Amino acid sequence: MSTNMQAQAVPRIGVTGMWSQQVHGLRFDGSAVAGAVLKSVIRAGGEPHTLFALSRLEPAERLIGLDALLVPGGADVDPARYGEQRGDATRTADFAAQDEFEAGLIAAAIEADLPVLAICRGFQLLNVEQGGSLIQDLAPDSVHRNSVHDVSLERDSRMAEVLGTTQLPVSSYHHQAIGRIGSDLRVVGRSPDGVVEALEHVTAPLLAMQWHPEDTAAEDERQQALFDWLVTNAKRYRKEQGR
């Protein structure tokens, strides 16, 4: 296969960057994505394309030429998006454009039947944009804040099928959690204390999780399987589009 043909065969995965006031190595603000997320996409056989929070294009236009969307972790979602006042512990994105940027892309991807993987902040934003809400701050001693804990998955879920198990340890780093469940979303995973850990869209090719699979994907094939699922479905989408 020629180099050009090889490049054409690799699915392009759009990954939303977090617009930050400070990025190491830059003089001013910048856009960043966790290296572990990008490495996991590459390991799965995809080519990550980082998307910035501002654009002259509409969300659907920004997805043209992409084969899947990945929305990773980051700052808290603005509570105004789910009708609440900001709590003392809530820390929203450095720039107000971040929420609308990612929300628009998620909605456009669902409309286009584009494969989506939503992690932590992406998971929470998905729920909010589907009409759900968030618990703004878990207990200070919550196991979710920075540790590894178990998650149980529904046996008939796509998530369990992808991971090849109904129970596994996950890397957790969050102080907020899902409250009211958004429309067209199904809860398919919970931690032992009842916190919602995994969601699936009832019709769209979308998997969302509260934990960080990228943290251990290099050593744990079950966590890497989530990125493999995204790239496999991106290849399918690419083929359907005739690319």
Please enumerate, as own/partner, the contacts of 5-10 that have beta carbons within 8 Å and a separation of 24 or more.
8/243, 10/45, 10/46, 10/47
Pairing between β-strand 185-190 and β-strand 147-153 as defined by DSSP bridges: antiparallel
Q: What is the CA radius of gyration of the chain?
A: 17
CA dist 91 → 66, 79, 220, 240 (Å): 31, 10, 31, 40
Cα(45)–Cα(58) distance, rounded to whole angstroms?
A: 28
Per the annotation, the verdict on 144 as an active-site residue is no
Which is catalytic among the residues 47, 149, 214, 219?
214
Contacts of 151 by beta carbon, 8 Å cutoff, 6+ apart: 167, 168, 169, 170, 189, 190, 191, 197, 198, 211
Per the annotation, the verdict on 120 as an active-site residue is yes
Per the annotation, the verdict on 111 as an active-site residue is no
Which is catalytic among the residues 120, 129, 197, 201?
120
Cα(177)–Cα(138) distance, rounded to whole angstroms?
A: 7
Contact 196, 208 (CB under 8 A): no
Cα(110)–Cα(107) distance, rounded to whole angstroms?
A: 5
Residue type present at position 37: V
Segment (H or E) for 40 = helix 35-43
Name the token pair of 183: 């429309």
List active site positions. Answer: 120, 212, 214
